[in-house]
Chains A and B, each alone.
Chain A
Amino acid sequence: MSSQVNTGLATLSDQLILATVLLYLAAMIGYALELAFGRVRTVAAAKRQPVAVGASSADVLPSADVLPETPREPEPEAWAVRAGGIAVVLTWIAWAGNLAGILTRGIAVDRWPWANMYEFVVAICFAAVTAFLVLMTRQPIRFLGAFVTVTAALGLGFAVLFLHVQAGPVMPALHSYWIAIHVTAAIVASGLFILAGVCAVLYLIRNDDRASVLPSRKDLERITHRAIVISFPIWTFAVIAGAMWADRAWGRYWGWDPKEVWAFITWVAYAAYLHARATAGWRGKAAIIVSLVAFACLLFNLIGVNIFFSGLHSYADVPS
């Protein structure tokens, strides 16, 4: 393991991440303009009747029961829609900047670039935006853009301001291919959970009785559920991969290290959410709140555990 760091690339990485923050903010403004001056949605009061469904709505996520969205204004402002379009382009550019920032850091230090808190948070923001962009190619979820980009910008800003450490080599415990497996899975799952968390918060904000720029609660609930259904197995895998790594590195696959405890709590909380919906039949607010409790556990595990508890996870390299 070399301790050589390519400082030029490391600096470039830091600059790329800064530029990414600004681009996410710019994109956020575009999305916000579209939300503010674009289409307003109301939820049809009529209870949905099971109706014949044609192929026309088949490519929409909520398709089967898309609630009729009646524009309150005759037509959304054309420029507002264009602002949204520009925001999407900006998001892709920012995404590329985020990716480049991660790659340059990895090349600069010649290892997987998620071995400390700073790198980990940067990667999670990247994963959340990726999840959003990928989903957007298939589902009409552009309305989420403002919230996802502002979350990513805040996350990156937090990382840059409070967590940043110089690019450098890492502790011997992190010299393992398991970092590629365990941490990558945790990052992907966390990105999706963040997407779900954003939707869940919007659900609580959305009032179906009033017209709003947000989609109906039902659509928000569905996206929340979908994201969790996808990420739960990935999280499960991440926890198991972590146990396998612990078996290599620490001499036991499970030892109730604080990080392990909270990963487990998070897992149980998301499982409780899935059960609440699948088997206990909870819908709406109750289920959403369970998902937010689980999300809070996730965030606490990502950040709080590293700050408040000392454990074996040596990546938790928070500058003091």
Chain B
Amino acid sequence: MTVPPDTETTGTPEASVAIESAPKEPARPVGLGVIGWLRWGWRTLTSMRTALILLFLFALGSVPGSIFPQRGVDPDKVAQYFANSPTEAKWLDRFQLFDVFTAPWYAAVYLLLFVSLAGCVLPRALSHVKEIRRKPPAAPRNLLRLPYGEAFEGGLTVEEAAAKLRRKRFRVVTGPDWVAAEKGYLRETGNLLFHVALLALLFAVGAGGLYGYRGNVLVVEGDGFANTVAAYDRFMPGQRVSAESLTPFSFTLKDFQASYVGSGEKMGQPLDYSAKLSVQDTPSSAPRDVDLKVNDPLDVNGTLTYLIGHGYAPTFKVTDGKGQVAFDGPVPCLVDDQATYTSECTIKVPDAQPTQLGFVARFLPSTVPNGNAWVSIFPAAVNPTVQIIGSFKGDLGLDSGQPQSVYVLDSDKLKPLGKMSAQPAAPLALGETRDLPDGAGKIQFTGVKEWITLQTTRDPGRLPALGAAAAAVLGLVLSLMIRRRRVWVRMTDRKVTVGGLTRTEGDSGAFSEEFAELVSLLRDSQDSPDSQAPQAGDRPAAAPVEPSTGPDEE
């Protein structure tokens, strides 16, 4: 604000612009009636100071969400936190610091903020509707006492002045010897648009959460997926989502390809991922080929499927002690090291006879010997090998009814096969077979497939949220860039005084320019002795004066 607050309303009281909402301390309740307290509470809640405090709290409350792992974002990290420092984690959990953005206290802050916002914006919207139609107030007595004022000699008439100001898109009212003009109503409109858009955004986000869902699934090359709740590894529905409402598409993963930088400092950095899918939008529609890439999800009627991650699924053939093939297929391995895609595999063979078998293995996509060990040096499967780290027999614990991770061997009832050697054996090359100790059978490394992880999302709130966000930006630009300003002109026998003021923050520099321009425009009338003054703006032809005060820029 250019003008210190105490000078900006110099002039008459009616000169103050009505858009101001002064930071008034809400009056304490008079007497102690419930109504009085409620009214006081409401006024306090919807006051600007409360809103500011809530705004700060909102920001502050988000901070722990970036410091501590969040269940909704990365549940594994939270579990790890619990494992590493249980007591601390328990306390953090007590304050819901692992679920900040869904915590009741966080919701309390933003709900209060938005109630405060609504309580402030709705009444303002109503008064703004009146404001838009309101005429600029009559000229104050002494225009030279306004923040901007200037006087000159000239034969300007009320009609001329009014016409000139109207042409500058001012809304104009005239009196016997004065003209009042105002401009910049869109500022307030923009401000309201912005705040209402924020409310709309909150609703869109909330509705998206209620009526949308998210699911994650891992698919190995050659396998398929059908969009049903049961097919997901992890399914997170909104409260209003039923199993039947899922879009019934399906697809097969035909091939996945990743390319990497082959040499130099960035060797091994991924360049491109591409998953070739054969998609059926409905069970009866013809399959279509889709090339799924990062940044380019599959869209089936608004249900989007994203390529999130990938890894290796070496295939194994396990023959048990009775000579029967007990397992033959891919085993998705967890990526241990992103730079080389060294992966950890767990092979469970529940069908093996006479006892179940389990293996822990390491998959090395580009194997090179390193001393008396082997390492992977590149993420692509250039020289894939599998190192069997542990072989077990016994009970895999799959029948206990307890859910079990496919990536972990439950070693309670398992015994190592043969003698554990300190050094893991040489890795199996592609196609190689190893006999198991104790006559338990043999295991063959038969091939390499890749897996991808996908996320499927349906969020009906996306587009409304986008619309609200766009409206918020538009409103913001209007409310920050447009100035609300008033100009008065008074004529008393060849003496013309012009006064102006603006209530807009910070850019009175621009207004003083505009004011100077207006003054020279008004000066510039035909019979004025001062017409040598700088001429700006259009030269007025004696335009007929419209009697009404039409709206200007709305």
- Could you list which residues of chain A lie within 8 angstroms of chain B, going by C-beta atoms? 1, 3, 5, 47-55, 57-65, 139, 165-166, 168-169, 171-173, 175-176, 178, 222, 225-226, 229, 232-233, 236-237, 240, 243-244, 247-258, 261-262, 264-265, 268-269, 271-272, 274-281, 283, 297, 305, 309
**B38 on interface, CB distance cutoff 8 Å:** no
The answer to whether B66 touches A233 (Cβ under 8 A) is: no
The answer to whether A58 touches B512 (Cβ under 8 A) is: yes
Which residues in window 64-89 of B have CB below 8 A to A?
A: 65-67, 70, 72-73
Quick one: which of A48, A62, A264 contacts B509, CB cutoff 8 A?
Answer: A62
- Nearest 6 CB-CB pairings of A with B: A251-B306, A55-B516, A261-B66, A268-B59, A258-B66, A251-B455
A57 to B67: give the CA distance in the assembly, Å. Answer: 51
**B265 on interface, CB distance cutoff 8 Å:** yes
**B127 on interface, CB distance cutoff 8 Å:** no
In the complex, chain A residues whose CB is within 8 Å of the CB of B269: 168-169, 171
A251 to B234: give the CA distance in the assembly, Å. Answer: 15
Binds A, one of B139-147, B311-319, B421-429, B443-451: B139-147
Return B239 CB to nearest CB of chain A, in Å: 18
**B41 on interface, CB distance cutoff 8 Å:** no
CB within 8 Å for A240 and B66 given contacts A64-B2, A172-B293, A222-B506: no
In the complex, chain A residues whose CB is within 8 Å of the CB of B509: 60-64, 139, 222
The answer to whether B469 touches A240 (Cβ under 8 A) is: yes
In the complex, chain B residues whose CB is within 8 Å of the CB of A254: 205
Which residues in window 170-224 of B have CB below 8 A to A?
A: 205, 214
A32 to B445: give the CA distance in the assembly, Å. Answer: 72
Return B114 CB to nearest CB of chain A, in Å: 13
The answer to whether A52 touches B147 (Cβ under 8 A) is: no
Quick one: which of B151, B465, B473, B520 contacts A55, CB cutoff 8 A?
Answer: B520
The answer to whether A272 touches B272 (Cβ under 8 A) is: no
The answer to whether B473 touches A237 (Cβ under 8 A) is: yes
CB within 8 Å for A271 and B295 given contacts A168-B264, A236-B476, A251-B304: no
A70 to B271: give the CA distance in the assembly, Å. Answer: 62
The answer to whether B23 touches A280 (Cβ under 8 A) is: yes
The answer to whether B506 touches A225 (Cβ under 8 A) is: yes
Quick one: which of A168, A247, A256, A258 contacts B261, CB cutoff 8 A?
Answer: A168
CB within 8 Å for A244 and B150 given contacts A3-B271, A233-B473, A257-B73: no
Quick one: which of A48, A61, A169, A233 contacts B4, CB cutoff 8 A?
Answer: A48
The answer to whether A172 touches B294 (Cβ under 8 A) is: yes
CB within 8 Å for A173 and B48 given contacts A233-B477, A237-B473: no
Return B515 CB to nearest CB of chain A, in Å: 7
Quick one: which of A51, A166, A255, A264 contacts B62, CB cutoff 8 A?
Answer: A264
In the complex, chain A residues whose CB is within 8 Å of the CB of B476: 232-233, 236
**B376 on interface, CB distance cutoff 8 Å:** no
The residue in B3, B148, B516 that gathers the most chain A C-beta atoms within 10 A of its C-beta is B516
The answer to whether A172 touches B21 (Cβ under 8 A) is: no
Return A259 CB to nearest CB of chain B, in Å: 8
Nearest chain A residue, comparing its CB with the CB of B148: A53
The answer to whether B295 touches A173 (Cβ under 8 A) is: yes
CB within 8 Å for A172 and B273 given contacts A50-B146, A233-B476, A268-B58: yes
Pick 8 A–B contacts, CB within 8 A, sort by A.
A65-B508, A165-B265, A168-B264, A236-B472, A244-B466, A261-B65, A279-B48, A305-B66
In the complex, chain B residues whose CB is within 8 Å of the CB of A178: 295
The answer to whether B2 touches A65 (Cβ under 8 A) is: yes
**B266 on interface, CB distance cutoff 8 Å:** yes
A139 to B509: give the CA distance in the assembly, Å. Answer: 10
Nearest chain B residue, comparing its CB with the CB of A224: B506
In the complex, chain B residues whose CB is within 8 Å of the CB of A52: 144, 148-151
**B104 on interface, CB distance cutoff 8 Å:** no
In the complex, chain B residues whose CB is within 8 Å of the CB of A226: 506-507
The answer to whether B52 touches A53 (Cβ under 8 A) is: no
CB within 8 Å for A255 and B512 given contacts A48-B7, A172-B293: no
The answer to whether B261 touches A252 (Cβ under 8 A) is: no
The answer to whether B270 touches A172 (Cβ under 8 A) is: yes
**B505 on interface, CB distance cutoff 8 Å:** yes
CB within 8 Å for A63 and B506 given contacts A166-B266, A251-B457, A252-B214: no
In the complex, chain B residues whose CB is within 8 Å of the CB of A168: 261, 264-266, 269
**B541 on interface, CB distance cutoff 8 Å:** no
**B480 on interface, CB distance cutoff 8 Å:** yes
CB within 8 Å for A243 and B205 given contacts A52-B151, A252-B214: no
In the complex, chain A residues whose CB is within 8 Å of the CB of B477: 233
A232 to B481: give the CA distance in the assembly, Å. Answer: 11
Return A246 CB to nearest CB of chain B, in Å: 10
In the complex, chain A residues whose CB is within 8 Å of the CB of B214: 251-252
A249 to B292: give the CA distance in the assembly, Å. Answer: 12
Return A162 CB to nearest CB of chain B, in Å: 17
A47 to B55: give the CA distance in the assembly, Å. Answer: 35
In the complex, chain A residues whose CB is within 8 Å of the CB of B296: 248
**B489 on interface, CB distance cutoff 8 Å:** no
A262 to B272: give the CA distance in the assembly, Å. Answer: 29
The answer to whether A252 touches B459 (Cβ under 8 A) is: yes
The answer to whether A283 touches B150 (Cβ under 8 A) is: no
In the complex, chain B residues whose CB is within 8 Å of the CB of A57: 512
**Knowing that A169-B266, A256-B66 are A-B contacts, what are 5 other residue pairs whose CB atoms are under 8 Å apart, sorted by A's residue number?**
A48-B7, A50-B148, A240-B466, A253-B459, A268-B56
A275 to B262: give the CA distance in the assembly, Å. Answer: 53
Return A189 CB to nearest CB of chain B, in Å: 12
In the complex, chain B residues whose CB is within 8 Å of the CB of A50: 3, 7, 10, 145-149
**B36 on interface, CB distance cutoff 8 Å:** no
CB within 8 Å for A169 and B148 given contacts A54-B516, A65-B3: no
Nearest chain B residue, comparing its CB with the CB of A271: B55
**B297 on interface, CB distance cutoff 8 Å:** yes
Which residues in window 1-50 of B have CB below 8 A to A?
A: 1-5, 7, 10, 21-23, 48-49
The answer to whether A64 touches B147 (Cβ under 8 A) is: yes
Return B150 CB to nearest CB of chain A, in Å: 5
The answer to whether A255 touches B73 (Cβ under 8 A) is: yes
**B538 on interface, CB distance cutoff 8 Å:** no
The answer to whether B55 touches A268 (Cβ under 8 A) is: yes
Return B453 CB to nearest CB of chain A, in Å: 11
Nearest chain B residue, comparing its CB with the CB of A249: B295
Return B234 CB to nearest CB of chain A, in Å: 13
Quick one: which of B100, B265, B481 contacts A166, CB cutoff 8 A?
Answer: B265
Quick one: which of A169, A240, A265, A297 contacts B271, CB cutoff 8 A?
Answer: A169
A282 to B264: give the CA distance in the assembly, Å. Answer: 56
Nearest chain B residue, comparing its CB with the CB of A269: B59
The answer to whether A265 touches B62 (Cβ under 8 A) is: yes
A61 to B507: give the CA distance in the assembly, Å. Answer: 8
In the complex, chain A residues whose CB is within 8 Å of the CB of B516: 53-55, 58
The answer to whether A172 touches B512 (Cβ under 8 A) is: no
Nearest chain B residue, comparing its CB with the CB of A255: B73
**B442 on interface, CB distance cutoff 8 Å:** no
CB within 8 Å for A243 and B469 given contacts A169-B269, A172-B294, A225-B506: yes
Quick one: which of B2, B145, B266, B480 contacts A232, CB cutoff 8 A?
Answer: B480
The answer to whether A175 touches B295 (Cβ under 8 A) is: yes
In the complex, chain A residues whose CB is within 8 Å of the CB of B148: 50, 52-53, 64
A249 to B306: give the CA distance in the assembly, Å. Answer: 7
The answer to whether A53 touches B293 (Cβ under 8 A) is: no
